[in-house]
C-alpha cells in the first residue's frame, strides 16, 4: 500500500482584513504599530490551525509577511537592491526586481528571527514548534534568472546566493529547507551547483516546470523529495529523491478534487513507478486563489483519520 503524505508550501492568501491593513500601511495611511502581531496572529490562528487540523506532514510558513518570493532575501543581503515592479511569470501578480549591485553577502545586522525597523518581512518565518517545518527559499537558479544581473555573471550570483542561504539556515538553526523553483529547469541548467546546499540537509525541491535527467548531470547528492508539477516528470523525481512528490491540486483553478480522487491518482502514479511513499501537494503556491478556495485545497489529501 502506498503511503501518501501532504505538503503545503509558499505564499498563502492573506485574509481580506490583513490585506487591507497592509495596504493602508504601505500607502502611509496607517502606522506600523501592531502590524507584526496581526500577521503572527493570522498565521497561528488560521494557517497553522489548518495544518494541524488536516494533519499535513510537511509545511512551510504561509509567508503572510512576504510581498513576493525574493524581497526578504534582497532586504537581508548586501550587494542587492529592490528594483521596479515586474510581472511574475504569466500571472496577474508582480514582484520587485532584485538588482545585483556588488558582492552578495548576508547583512551582519539582520537577525532573521527578530523585527527589523519598520520592515514586515522580518521575522522571516514563524516556526510553530511541531511537525516537519521547512524554511522556504527561492531556488538560486530561478533567482538568478529573474533578477537584474547588473553586469555580474550568473555563476557568481548563484555562488553568492548559496553562501547567503547557508548563513540564513545557520542563523535560523534549521537543516530543513524547501527550495522553490519558479521557472523549471531549462536545457542548460545543472543542479550540481546546489550540491553543497543539499549535503547534510533535508531538502525538498519543488519544481513548477519541466525537469529532466539532463539537469542532474554531475549531481551526487539526493534530495529528500523532488516535487514535480505533473506525472510526466515523476520518474525523474523518483530517481533522485527518497520520497518523490507530485502537484495534483491546481493552484490557478478554483476547481476542487475530492480527497478520494486525489489519493487514487497519487497512488496510481506512485505504484506505476514502484514508489512506496509519495508526497502530494499543489502545483504552485496558493496565493493566486481566494482564501476560501485555498483553504479547501489545503484540506484535500489529508491523511485518513
Give the confidence band of 256 by pLDDT, cuts at 50, 70, 90.
confident
Cβ atoms 104, 161 nearer than 8 A: yes
* pLDDT score of 84 more than 60: yes
Q: What is the mean pLDDT of residues 123-135?
A: 91
What pLDDT, on a 0 to 100 scale, did the predictor assign at position 108?
81
Coil, strand, or helix at residue 42?
helix
> How many structural domains are present in the chain?
1
Which pTM value belongs to this model?
0.95
Residue 88 covered by a domain: yes
Give the confidence band of 301 by pLDDT, cuts at 50, 70, 90.
low
Burial 99-135 (b: 16+ CB within 10 A, else e): bbeeebebeeebebeeebeeebbbbbbbbbeeeebbb
Residue 184 covered by a domain: yes
Q: What is the mean pLDDT of residues 94-117?
A: 89
* pLDDT score of 205 more than 50: yes
Cell, residue 144: 538568478
DSSP one-letter string for 79-129: EEEEEEEEE-TTSS-EEEEEEEEEEEEE-TT--TTS-BTTBTT-S-----S
Residue 305 covered by a domain: no
Per-residue model confidence as pLDDT tens digits over 40-63? 999 999 999 999 999 999 999 999
Could you tell me the residue range of the domain that residue 156 belongs to?
Answer: 3-299
Give the confidence band of 219 by pLDDT, cuts at 50, 70, 90.
very high
Residue 157 covered by a domain: yes
Give the confidence band of 114 by pLDDT, cuts at 50, 70, 90.
confident
Residue 183 covered by a domain: yes
Per-residue model confidence as pLDDT tens digits over 142-189? 999 999 999 999 999 999 999 999 999 999 999 999 999 998 887 778
What pLDDT, on a 0 to 100 scale, did the predictor assign at position 137?
98
Residue 44 covered by a domain: yes
Domain with 139 in it: what CATH number? 3.20.20.210
Residue 230 covered by a domain: yes
Residue 304 covered by a domain: no
Q: In the chain, what is the straight-line distance between the N-terminal and C-terminal CA atoms, in Å?
A: 16
Amino acid at each position: 500500500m502506498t503511503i501518501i503524505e501532504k505538503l503545503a508550501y509558499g505564499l498563502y492568501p492573506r485574509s481580506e482584513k490583513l490585506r487591507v491593513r497592509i495596504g493602508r500601511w504601505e500607502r502611509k495611511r496607517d502606522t506600523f504599530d501592531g502590524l507584526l502581531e496581526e500577521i503572527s496572529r493570522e498565521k497561528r490562528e488560521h494557517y497553522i490551525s489548518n495544518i494541524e487540523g488536516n494533519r499535513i506532514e510537511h509545511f512551510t510558513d504561509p509567508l503572510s509577511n512576504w510581498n513576493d518570493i525574493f524581497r526578504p532575501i534582497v532586504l537581508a543581503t548586501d550587494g542587492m537592491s529592490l528594483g521596479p515592479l515586474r510581472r511574475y511569470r504569466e500571472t496577474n501578480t508582480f514582484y520587485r526586481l532584485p538588482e545585483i549591485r556588488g558582492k552578495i553577502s548576508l547583512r551582519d545586522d539582520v537577525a532573521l528571527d527578530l523585527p527589523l525597523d519598520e520592515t514586515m518581512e522580518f521575522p522571516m518565518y514563524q516556526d510553530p514548534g511541531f511537525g516537519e517545518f521547512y524554511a522556504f527559499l527561492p531556488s538560486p537558479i530561478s533567482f538568478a534568472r529573474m533578477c537584474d544581473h547588473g553586469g555580474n555573471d550568473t555563476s557568481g550570483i548563484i555562488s553568492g546566493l548559496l553562501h547567503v542561504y547557508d548563513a540564513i539556515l545557520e542563523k535560523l538553526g534549521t537543516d530543513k529547507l524547501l527550495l522553490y523553483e519558479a521557472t523549471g529547469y531549462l536545457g542548460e541548467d545543472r543542479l550540481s551547483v546546489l550540491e553543497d546546499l543539499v549535503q547534510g540537509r533535508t531538502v525538498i525541491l519543488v519544481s513548477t516546470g519541466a525537469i529532466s535527467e539532463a539537469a542532474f548531470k554531475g549531481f551526487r547528492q539526493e534530495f529528500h523529495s523532488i516535487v514535480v508539477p505533473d506525472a510526466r516528470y515523476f520518474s525523474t523525481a523518483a530517481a533522485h529523491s527518497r520520497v518523490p512528490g507530485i502537484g495534483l491540486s491546481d493552484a490557478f483553478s478554483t476547481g476542487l478534487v475530492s480527497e478520494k480522487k486525489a489519493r487514487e491518482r497519487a497512488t496510481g502514479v506512485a505504484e506505476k513507478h514502484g514508489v512506496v511513499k509519495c508526497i502530494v501537494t499543489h502545483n504552485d503556491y496558493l496565493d493566486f486563489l481566494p482564501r476560501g478556495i485555498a483553504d479547501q485545497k489545503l484540506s484535500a489529501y489529508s491523511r485518513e483519520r
